[in-house]
Chains A and B, each alone.
Chain A
Amino acid sequence: MTMTVAATPSVARGPKPQRLTPARIGIYLFLFSAAAFFLLPLFIMVVTSMKTLEEIRQGSILALPLTLNFDAWVKAWTQACTGLECNGIQVGFWNSVKILIPSVIISIVVGAVNGYALTFWRRPGSNLLFAVLMVGAFIPYQVFLNPMIRFFSFAGLYSSLPGIILVHVIFGMPVMTMLFRNYYTNLPVELFNAARVDGAGFWRIFFDVILPMSAPIFVVAAILQVTGIWNDFLLGLVFAGRENLPMTVQLNNIVNTTTGEREYNVNMAATLLTALVPTIVYFVSGRWFVRGIASGAVKG
């Protein structure tokens, strides 16, 4: 699953194109209609977020805004209300950042060590351990929630920042482990053996031999974890606690629990702001993103 996608050649190898025949026109028609389907909702969101409420009521939904007006964006960032608190979506943004950075770093390091140990330091039970993690990756979170909350409460971690970080590390582990294990399996084992002969130990080989060769897979892992953790809703809702609710949860609260007049422009600006981080990751990383999600989409 991982490597097939990674090996995508950059040139199309389908049947050779002819000149603009009706069939070719049909192909383009299909492709551009599909593109419209994917772009239209986003276009409307961006356009609407720059209109005033009056413009939204009066004008066509497709019309461009009369002026480039970012008031709704500013309001969404600094003043949007969750219940009685009106400090804007920035609260959720910074909560998400606080959750994201340690979760990403720790889960990648744990995944790398696991993958390395499972590849080069097989112990009795290694395969069983890996199999349990792999099957576990597919199980819906709902199955674990109730007992996990009990464990976490017992350990004093429930509804806390360290708690939600630990949860992300736990649920990131199967995919991260698989990613690194698949990558390390394809490294030449002679390198490892040579280091062993030189008398190097577990950590020494990891830091001096394996890590320097791991840059590409770290990039894939980081893309996967940054988008996955940023987009998480369920775990943040359950484990983060009121003080640390991530941006996705706060966004849903802002939009779906407001009473009174709905400020669509502010809501859409808040939604776009929430989508900003993964979108930037997506456009900056390009094809790496495809590699990442294709190998890690099991997490869902």
Chain B
Amino acid sequence: MAKSKRKHQVTASVAMLPAFATALLIYIVCTGWTIWVSFTNSRLLPSSQFVGFAQYERLFANERWQISFNNLFIFGGCFLAISLALGLLMAIMIDQRVRFENMLRAVFLYPYAMSFVVTGLVWQWFLNPELGLQKMMRGLGWESFTFDWLVNPDYVVFTLVIAAVWHASGLVMAIMLAGLRGVDSEIWKAAKIDGIPAWRVYVSIVMPMLGPTVVTAVVLMSITVVKLYDLVVAMTNGGPGNESEAPAKFVMDYLFERGNIGLATAASTIMLITVLVVLAPYLYLKYGRPARAGHA
């Protein structure tokens, strides 16, 4: 029996080999390699000459990186605020026992099934002044209507926000709605008996209870922000100028087109740090503290 038990344990270990290899070779070795190379003077080929933070100094002196990195925060801040607000509003409104609930949910969420490439192309056309919204409004009789953000260097990053909100706020809605439906209905009955208006119940009681749900949505959306790449490629390709560039695209272009591994790995290390900064409080809340019962 003992012998056969050991045999089964060995089988289990063998079955875990792919996971073990992935964790070790990809998530640990590749990450470590990237961080290490970012401290060397590698250009087209990796070099092992240690140069300290020189690549990072070069990176943050690079104008295109500055724009990309700034865009991360402009895009991220706007996208998070709008998609969360819109998603939450849609969830609360849908939760008012409205008719057509299933249809509305399907409509709000379907863009999430589309790829970012499709999303980017859809909005590239819809916001194209000669083709989409502007032409439509002028055609409807509003001759002076102008919406040229897509080709306006000052506003182009906000067109990415619009497209990303279209893509993802349905997911926020779905997550929030699940949270709302999890609120004990007794609370609503009690509030009704006490004559508390519905909006007060939402603000003072329901929202605080939704805390973990909101955190989940924020983390998911933040990761989308850091990974922002396909959308930019399909919608603006970084233009006009470099005004809609993003860090992920910076890394791709410096890896594959400009052949500057040192700068690219420094930029991806900054991306990694950004993700860890977003993630750390979440992981701490979820796993770091003594486990509470009932959390999947």
Q: How would you classify the secondary structure of chain A's contact residues: helix, strand, loop or mixed?
A: helix
Q: In the complex the two chains form, is A35's CB within 8 Å of B30's CB? A: no
Q: Please tell me which stretch of B143-151, B152-160, B168-176 contacts chain A, meaning at least 4 of its Cβ atoms lie within 8 angstroms of it.
A: B168-176
Query: Known interface pairs A135-B27, A267-B121, A293-B112. Does A39 touch B96 (Cβ–Cβ under 8 Å)?
Result: no
CB-CB under 8 A from B107, the residues of chain A are: 35, 38-39
Q: A27-B98, A135-B27, A203-B11 are in contact. Are A15 and B111 (CB under 8 A)?
A: no
Among B4, B18, B112, B188, the residue within 8 A (CB) of A173 is: B18
Is there a chain A Cβ closer than 8 Å to B60's Cβ? no
B43 close to A (CB within 8 Å): no
| Chain B contacts with A in 233-251, Cβ cutoff 8 A | 233-234, 237, 248, 251
CA A31 to CA B107, docked complex, whole Å: 10
Q: Once the chains bind, are A133 and B19 in contact (CB under 8 Å)? A: yes
- B83 on interface, CB distance cutoff 8 Å: no
What CA separation (Å) do A260 and B181 show in the bound complex?
Answer: 53
**B54 interfacial contact with A, CB 8 Å:** no
Interface string of A202-228 (1 = CB under 8 A from B): 110000000000000000000000010
The distance in angstroms between the C-alpha atoms of A182 and B296, with both chains bound, is 7
Q: Is the CB of A202 within 8 A of B15?
A: yes
Whether A7 lies near B166 (C-beta < 8 A) is: no
8 closest cross-chain pairs (CB), A and B: A231-B115, A121-B12, A136-B27, A3-B296, A282-B113, A14-B95, A202-B11, A142-B251
Pick 26 A–B contacts, CB within 8 A, sort by A.
A12-B97, A12-B98, A12-B101, A13-B188, A14-B96, A14-B180, A16-B97, A17-B96, A38-B108, A41-B126, A123-B12, A129-B19, A133-B23, A138-B223, A139-B31, A142-B252, A144-B26, A144-B34, A147-B33, A201-B4, A231-B118, A233-B115, A275-B113, A282-B113, A290-B178, A300-B227
B residues sitting closer than 8 Å to A (CB atoms) are 4, 7-9, 11-13, 15-16, 18-20, 22-23, 25-31, 33-34, 37, 86, 89-90, 92-98, 101, 104, 106-118, 121-123, 125-126, 131-132, 135-136, 139-140, 166, 170-171, 174-175, 177-183, 185, 188, 192, 198, 201, 213, 216, 220, 223-224, 226-227, 229-230, 233-234, 237, 248, 251-252, 255-256, 261, 264-265, 267-269, 271-272, 275, 279, 283, 287, 296
